[in-house]
Chains A and B, each alone.
Chain A
Amino acid sequence: MENICDNFKLSHTQNAIELHLFGSWSKESLICIIKKLSLLNITNSTSLTIDFSKLSQCDSSAMIYLIGFIKQFNTSLVTLTHLGKFEAFYNLYCTYYTTKPSLTVKKESLWFLTAVGIKVHWLYESILNAINFIGELVYFIVISFLNPKTIRFKAMLNHIERSAIQALFIVGITSFLVGIVIAYQGSVQLNKFGANIFIVEMVCITMFREIAPLMTAIVIAGRTASSYTAEIGAMKITEEIDAMKTMGFEPTIFLTLPRIFALIISLPLLIFFSDIVSVFAGSVVAYLDLNVSFAEFINRMKDTVELKHFLIGIFKGIFFGIAIAAIGCYHGFQVKNNTTSIGKYTTISVVNAIFVVIALNAIFSVILTQSGI
């Protein structure tokens, strides 16, 4: 029986196989060779002779395949003839030839309670970590207030520029649009009652007290929490944080506190800016839609809108700032030593920051309303 293919000729007798290789055995031709060889019904009790004399070229993939093929046979029954220039090549790959170890590690299926236990322990540890982080933070905040020299003012100003001044545009645009929407939707209802002038209270109170702080905080949470996590995470991967530790620079003082102070200062200011822009947007709608002039709008605002609404919004901003910066930094320090974890923790940090901002806002809302402010 004889089989011929472009790259080999196989003569098959009772219990002896003669394989003549020719042409070039490469990654490209190998696919066809493998297909044809696997079609043949070869048992390992036959003796095998491989003739290399007409083989012109053979790359490493083909050689490794060939060695694998030869290894199917009983070694004493295999003869290789005319190895010639391929001898050293064959020997090299023969020495190093390795297949995938068959002992696959069985994935232990966990007992239900064990799995729950592991999760609970993990949760316990992550809560412990978070508390540890907060404790460290408070400790160093106190230290730096007692000893203001340790505050990194330059880094702080740098962070204020990057996370507040460069965010002015996006905060302004969102506030303007939200102001327009609130005023516009309100104006339709107020017009029905002929209560046009109440647009002033409606826009000012909702904006000062709730919407402007919340909108600004959410924009900053998306923008700044992610960048804090990514920055610190990248520093962790490049071992910069370890380097700081060995030099005796406390990462909390050098990295976390400047960021937190930056947001404590800049978030209230951004909220103030957002107040101005959104109330201006409201007054534009009031003028165009309800014929309330700008002068009337401002006079009415002075008379009826209490200062406390504005102050509540600013006051909330301080806490939002602390929360956003702390969450951003905390997740940055959690990044593990591989690139995918930066993405993972950045996502977690943005989601957490937005959630915490909304939750804090709800808590403030309840407390302040209950206490009659």
Chain B
Amino acid sequence: MALITVENLSTQFGKNVIHTNLNFEIKESEIFGILGGSGSGKTTLIRQMVLLQNIQQGKINILNQDISTLDLKQIQTFKTKFSYLFQFGALYSFLNVIENISVMLKEYTSLPSELIVTIAYTYLNMVGLPLNSATLYPSQLSGGMKKRVALARALAMEPKILFLDEPTSGLDPSSTQSFNELIVQLQELLNLTIIIVTHDLNTIKNVLTRFVVLNKTIAFEGNYEEALESQDPFIQKFFTQRD
């Protein structure tokens, strides 16, 4: 079943054309990748999916609703169904790590506060952060740690859809691997649909079920094995890695 469908989506900023006529589907329980070179509008595309950026032309349907026609109340419920992991974490600088993780639970549920704290600590542990980082503030964290906290924050509400904007950039190779394993594991157990913007070949190979490669239009749609067999010179170049 298609969870997200993008129909004839076109975007341009001034004279700079970003997308023309994008059409693709993301199925439920998929780990779907959005790839492309720098400036190919990957982030713009997922920002449009989460209503951070206006849709100029075309349509995006999420959970069978055209997201540009939602009213305020529908938008509010829609927003509790997904989480967005920002490229640089975007943690609230005035809250500490645990408060950052639990902020959505605190605002949207009426669970007892000890349980919320326990949930937050469990996710902190799950993303591989030491317990003593719990009371630190974002300015005291390294880039990789911020990213993990941001992942914990995105997971804490247990969304149906998880948007990850370059989740593994800035992580060391072994963390990248455990991050990828965690994502696959969580997807299976929580039945999430995950949309990842990534450049990381390891992630592309081992995590993604399917992906699209953007280059104004959709240059490729499919999985890694299919991409390797593609005759398209752009795709061949895109996936060639010199050792």
| A97-B158 Cα distance, complex, nearest whole Å | 16
Interchain CB contact under 8 A, B122 and A30: no
Count of A-B contacts with CB under 8 A? 73
Q: How far is the CA of A232 from the CA of B202 in the complex (A)?
A: 40
Contact (Cβ within 8 A) B125 A98: yes
Chain B residues positioned under 8 Å from A64 (CB to CB): 115, 118-119, 122
The answer to whether A61 and B112 touch across the interface, beta carbons within 8 angstroms, is no
- Selected contact of B122 from candidates A96, A339, A340, CB within 8 Å: A96
- Given A101-B131, A340-B93, A340-B94: A68 and B115 within 8 A (CB)? yes
Q: Take A60-B190, A98-B131 as given contacts and tell me if A336 and B115 are in contact as well, using a CB distance cutoff of 8 Å.
A: no
Chain B's closest residue to A340 (CB) is B94
Minimum CB–CB distance from B147 to chain A (whole Å) comes to 17
* Nearest-Cβ distance from residue A338 to partner chain B, whole angstroms: 4
Task: Report yes or no: A31 in contact with B137, Cβ–Cβ below 8 A.
Answer: no
Known A68-B115, A338-B94, A339-B94; contact A99-B121, beta-carbon cutoff 8 A:
yes
User: What residues of B have a CB within 8 angstroms of the CB of A30 in the complex?
Assistant: 111, 115
| Shortest distance between the CB of B102 and any CB in chain A (Å) | 11
Give the CA-CA distance A98 to B114 in the complex, in Å.
12
Instruction: Render A35-73 as a binary contact track against B, CB cut-off 8 A, 1 for contact.
Output: 000000000000000000000000111001100100000
Whether the pair B124, A61 counts as a contact (CB closer than 8 A) is no
Asked if A92 lies at the interface with its beta carbon under 8 angstroms from chain B, I say yes
Question: C-beta contact mask, B95-130 vs A, less than 8 Å → 1, else 0?
Answer: 000000000010001111011011101111110000
Query: Does B139 make an interface contact (CB < 8 A)?
Result: yes
Instruction: Select A98's contact among B121, B139, B155, B190, beta carbons within 8 Å.
Output: B121
**Does B52 sit within 8 A of A, measured CB to CB?**
no
Residues of A within 8 A of B139 (CB): 336-338
Consensus secondary structure, chain A interface: helix
> Which of A61, A68, A92 has most chain B Cβ within 10 Å?
A61
CB closest chain-A residue, reference B108: A27
A373 contacts partner chain B, Cβ-Cβ < 8 Å? no
Whether, in the assembled complex, B185 has its beta carbon less than 8 Å from a beta carbon of chain A, the answer is: yes
Would you call B167 an interface residue if the criterion is a C-beta within 8 Å of the partner chain's C-beta atoms? no
The proximity string for A residues 61-102 relative to B, scoring 1 for CB distances below 8 Å and 0 otherwise, is: 100110010000000000000000000110011001111110
A34 near B112 with CB under 8 A, answer yes
Among B94, B124, B134, B158, the one with the most A-chain Cβ atoms within 10 Å of its Cβ is: B158
For A, the interface residue count at a CB cutoff of 8 angstroms equals: 26
B93/A100 in contact, CB under 8 A: no
A88 CA to B188 CA, complexed, in Å: 10
Name the B residues within 8 Å of A99 (CB-CB): 117-118, 121
Give the interface centre of A60, A89, A97, A339 by most chain B CB atoms within 10 Å: A60
Closest chain B CB from A194 CB (angstroms): 64
Cα-based distance from A30 to B119 in the complex (angstroms): 13
- Cβ of B1 within 8 Å of any chain A Cβ, yes or no, is no
Quick one: closest B residue to A105, CB to CB? B135
Residues of A within 8 A of B126 (CB): 96
Are B122's CB and A97's CB within 8 A? yes
Interface size bucket, B side?
20 to 34
Q: Are B111 and A61 in contact (CB under 8 A)?
A: yes
Question: In the complex, which residues of chain A have a beta carbon less than 8 angstroms from the beta carbon of B93?
Answer: 338-340
Known: A61-B158, A336-B139, A339-B93. A100 touches B117 (CB 8 A): yes
Chain A residues contacting B137 (CB-CB under 8 Å) are: 338
Nearest chain B residue, comparing its CB with the CB of A337: B139
Alpha-carbon gap, A176 to B37, bound state (A):
58
User: Quick one: CB contact mask for B166-187 with A, threshold 8 Å, 1 for yes?
Assistant: 0000000000000000000100
CB of A92 within 8 A of CB of B185, answer: yes
Q: Do A60 and B119 have beta carbons less than 8 Å apart?
A: yes
Q: Which residues of B contact A88 (CB under 8 A)?
A: 188-189
Q: Please give, as numbers and ranges, the residues of chain B lying within 8 Å of A59 by CB-CB distance.
A: 158
Min distance, Cβ A294 to any Cβ of chain B, angstroms? 52
What is the CA–CA distance of A100 and B138 in the complex, to the nearest angstrom?
Answer: 19
Q: Which A304-363 residues have C-beta < 8 A from chain B?
A: 336-340
Complex Cα distance, B146 from A337, in Å, reads: 14
Residues of B within 8 A of A27 (CB): 105, 109, 111, 158
- CB of B119 within 8 A of CB of A89, answer no
Query: Which of chain B's residues has its CB closest to A339's CB?
Result: B93
Contact B121 A100 (CB under 8 A): yes
> Which residues of the other chain, A, contact B188 by a CB distance below 8 angstroms?
88
Q: Which residues of B contact A92 (CB under 8 A)?
A: 185, 189
Out of A65, A93, A101, A338, name the residue touching B138 (CB < 8 Å): A338
Q: A residues within 8 A CB of B155? A: 60
CB neighbours of A60 from chain B (8 A)? 119, 155, 158, 190
For the complex, what is the distance from the CA of A272 to the CA of B124, rounded to whole Å?
Answer: 62
> Can you spell out 20 A-B residue pairs with CB atoms less than 8 angstroms apart?
A27-B105, A27-B109, A27-B158, A31-B111, A34-B112, A60-B155, A61-B111, A64-B118, A64-B119, A64-B122, A65-B118, A92-B185, A93-B122, A96-B125, A98-B125, A100-B114, A100-B117, A101-B131, A338-B137, A340-B94
List residues of chain B with CB under 8 Å of any chain A CB.
Answer: 93-94, 105, 109-112, 114-115, 117-119, 121-126, 131, 134, 137-139, 155, 158, 185, 188-190
**Chain A: residues with CB nearer than 8 A to chain B?**
27-28, 30-31, 34, 59-61, 64-65, 68, 88-89, 92-93, 96-101, 336-340
* 12 other A-B residue contacts (CB within 8 Å) besides A96-B123, A100-B114: A27-B105, A30-B115, A34-B112, A61-B109, A92-B185, A99-B121, A100-B117, A101-B134, A336-B139, A338-B94, A339-B93, A340-B94
